[in-house]
């Protein structure tokens, strides 16, 4: 008799594990596909997600995002440029500030640049969304690395924006341990869809 309940528990655990594996497998495929999708639609703004800067100079990863955003700007895909990202302890410059300076020296008018902040993707969006609403901006081209595109779009959408994918094609990040980035994104997107991206941000910030 004792083996009956034990078999039931094992069967339930096996079913749960199978469901979780399937859920995260589907999530991974969605992240991969989104990271290789490039929307042809125009938008009201280009939303550049921040990443590391180097003492006032964009890192190679950040420069790749900014150069991609510049291409979108120069081909008249949007009328506003949005840059995000704060600074780490000890830094003198914010990612958004460095991004804005880089774009301005390459022809983007300062008056058309919206500066945000934030230490994660949720905060990146949260620091600019009210300003965008005041400008009646809803549609955005989300510029980030391919593995990050799905989560960036999900977070933008959850805060009331309508994102279109425009991942960076030539980011230096994709040349190093790419599987780690996709594993991290699969885990975070999977959790975020269940628990809420804003809640996850509040737990980790």
Asked if residue 194 belongs to a domain, the reply is: yes
Asked if residue 11 belongs to a domain, the reply is: no
83: β partners = 48, 115
pTM: 0.91
Asked if residue 20 belongs to a domain, the reply is: no
The average pLDDT across 9-25 equals 90
The average pLDDT across 53-78 equals 96
Asked if residue 10 belongs to a domain, the reply is: no
Q: Are 47 and 68 in contact (CB under 8 A)?
A: no
Please give the Cα distance from 33 to 78 (Å, whole number).
24
Provide the pLDDT for residue 80: 98
Asked if residue 74 belongs to a domain, the reply is: yes
Q: What percent of the chain has pLDDT above 90?
A: 82
**How many structural domains are present in the chain?**
1
pLDDT at 1 over 70: no
Asked if residue 157 belongs to a domain, the reply is: yes
Mark 116-153 as b/e (b = at least 16 C-beta within 10 Å): bbbbbbbbbbbbbbeebeeeebebbbbbbbbbbbbbbb
Asked if residue 144 belongs to a domain, the reply is: yes
> What CATH number corresponds to the domain at position 137?
3.40.50.620
> H or E segment at 143?
strand 139-143
90, HSE (Cβ side, Cα atoms, 13 Å): 1
Sort 14 into a burial class: Cβ within 10 Å, 0-12 / 13-18 / 19+: exposed
Write out the residue range of the structural domain in which residue 162 sits: 34-170+178-204
Asked if residue 26 belongs to a domain, the reply is: no
Which tokens belong to 181? 């980035």
Provide the pLDDT for residue 41: 97
Neighbour order of strands in the sheet with 139-143: 113-115, 80-83, 45-48, 139-143, 162-165
Give the pLDDT confidence of 70-102 residue by residue, as tens digits: 999 999 999 999 999 999 888 899 999 999 999
């Amino acid at each position: 008799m004792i083996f009956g309940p034990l078999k039931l528990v094992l069967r339930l655990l096996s079913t749960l594990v199978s469901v979780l594996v399937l859920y995260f497998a589907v999530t991974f495929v969605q992240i991969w596909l989104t990271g290789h999708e490039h929307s042809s639609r125009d938008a009201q703004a280009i939303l550049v997600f921040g990443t590391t800067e180097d003492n006032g100079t964009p890192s190679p990863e950040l420069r790749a995002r900014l150069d991609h955003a510049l291409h979108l700007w120069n081909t008249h895909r949007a009328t506003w440029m949005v840059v995000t990202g704060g600074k780490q302890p000890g830094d003198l410059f914010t990612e958004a500030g460095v991004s804005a300076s880089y774009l301005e020296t390459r022809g983007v008018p300062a008056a058309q640049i919206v500066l945000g902040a934030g230490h994660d993707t949720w905060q990146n969006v949260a620091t600019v969304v009210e300003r965008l609403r005041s400008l009646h901006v809803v549609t955005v081209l989300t510029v980030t690395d391919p593995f990050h595109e799905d989560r960036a779009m999900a977070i933008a959408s959850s805060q009331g924006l309508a994102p279109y994918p425009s991942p960076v094609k030539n980011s230096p990040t994709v040349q190093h341990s790419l599987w780690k980035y996709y594993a991290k994104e699969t885990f975070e997107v999977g959790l975020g869809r269940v628990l809420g991206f804003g809640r996850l941000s509040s737990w980790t910030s």
